[in-house]
Structure 1
Amino acid sequence: MGASVTRAIRNFNLENRAEREISKMKPSAAPRHPSTKSLLREQMNSRPDIKGEIARKDDKLLSLLKDVYVDSKDPVSSMQVKDAGTRQQPKEFRLPKGNHFGMNIENIPKGKISIVEALTLLNNHKLYPETWTAEKIAEEYHLEQKDVNSVLRYFVTFEVKIIPPEDRKAIQSE
């Protein structure tokens, strides 16, 4: 009910209102500042060919414009692209290793590891570098060798060291 009333009010006398807007005077150019009028007049007097230059059409530019050809096509919707593409192969998953402290992780794609597993493998490599080599870690967690080498090279686990002050007495906890 409300939509029909709104539509009736919006379309009331539409043609007359449109014609009134069209027949209004078009806006003129902004008035020039009085200080620039004398400068413009001087330029027009010193070079009378400027007016003709402004109004003249350049045939060379017009011919170049006629040579331009624009061909446009509607973009293909993403739904069609997905349907046309090949079907994805099902991903291989593996079970998470170690304790995940109550996290709800059921399976992890091969080639990826969880945060807990990353910290575990970094710590294992730090504590036992002979047994936890990059090759063993790559095999155990189904990762690529170059990725494991990069992780072991650029990431380290935090190590907390408490250095007691030598010149002050340590405060004893009660």
Structure 2
Amino acid sequence: MGAAVTRLIRNFNLENRAEREISKIKPSRAPRHPSTKNRLREQMSRHPEIEGEISRKDDRLLSFLKDVYVDSKDPAPSVQVKDAETPQEPKEFRLPKGQQFDTMNMNIPRGKISIEEALTLLNNHKLYPEKWTAEKISEEYHLELKDVNSLLKYFVTFEVKIFPPEDKKAIQSK
């Protein structure tokens, strides 16, 4: 919705605005400094042929300009492009662990995990840290050990704690 409104505002009265911009008086050159004007008048009075030289086009220079030809080429790509004929190597996939979250039939590439698996392994490590070590998780989910260590260090699962109100007794769970 926002893009449509923006587009309407941007394109509103576009032709009239463009016509108004085109019909504006073109900018003139910057004015010269007063001290420069005096020196220019002085030089023009001494050498009147300079005025003709300034306004005259030099045919020799124009012919040089016509001879200039610019040809640009892209630099060679640093990454070599693989031949289209060679088939791409099939990636190794694995089935997701658990399936308790009713995931559809999906294959996960090795070295990656799904969100459900990440939550499961983080929760397992939190509940049983001696059993679910970084090495075991790395082996179980086919991940690199440094990635698992970073995952365990920087990500934690949510922990819900309910504190009883101060003025009421807490209901004891059985």
SS in 1 for 2:125: helix
Provide Cα deviations, 1:94-131, integer angstroms capped at 9, x if missing partner: 11110242221332111111100000000000000000
Letter in 1 for 2:130: E
The separation in 2 between residues aligned to 1:171 and 1:133, in whole angstroms, is 36
Structure 1 residue 48 and structure 2 residue 47: aligned? no
2:88 aligned partner = 88
TM-score, reference length from structure 2: 0.55
**Alpha-carbon spacing, 1:43–1:100, altered in 2? closer, same or farther (3 Å):** farther
Aligned-residue sequence identity (percent) comes to 65
Which structure carries more helix by proportion? 1
**Alpha-carbon spacing, 1:40–1:160, altered in 2? closer, same or farther (3 Å):** same
1:118 aligned partner = 118
1:169 aligned partner = 168
SS in 2 for 1:102: coil
Q: Count the aligned residue pairs.
A: 127
- Show structure 1 runs of 5+ residues with no match: 1-26, 57-61
Residue 163 of structure 1: how far off its partner (Å): 1.1
Provide Cα deviations, 1:138-174, integer angstroms capped at 9, x if missing partner: 00000000000000000000001111222x33699xx
Residue 44 of structure 1: how far off its partner (Å): 5.6
User: In 1, are the aligned partners of 2:92 and 2:109 still within 8 Å (CA)?
Assistant: yes
1:151 aligned partner = 151
Letter in 1 for 2:38: S
SS in 1 for 2:165: coil
User: In 1, are the aligned partners of 2:93 and 2:109 still within 8 Å (CA)?
Assistant: yes
Mapping of residues 6-25 of structure 1, within 5 Å: none
The separation in 1 between residues aligned to 2:33 and 2:140, in whole angstroms, is 87
The separation in 1 between residues aligned to 2:124 and 2:33, in whole angstroms, is 86
2:17 aligned partner = none
TM-score, reference length from structure 1: 0.55
The separation in 1 between residues aligned to 2:27 and 2:128, in whole angstroms, is 84
Letter in 2 for 1:169: K
> Cα RMSD over matched residues?
4.3
**Alpha-carbon spacing, 1:171–1:136, altered in 2? closer, same or farther (3 Å):** closer
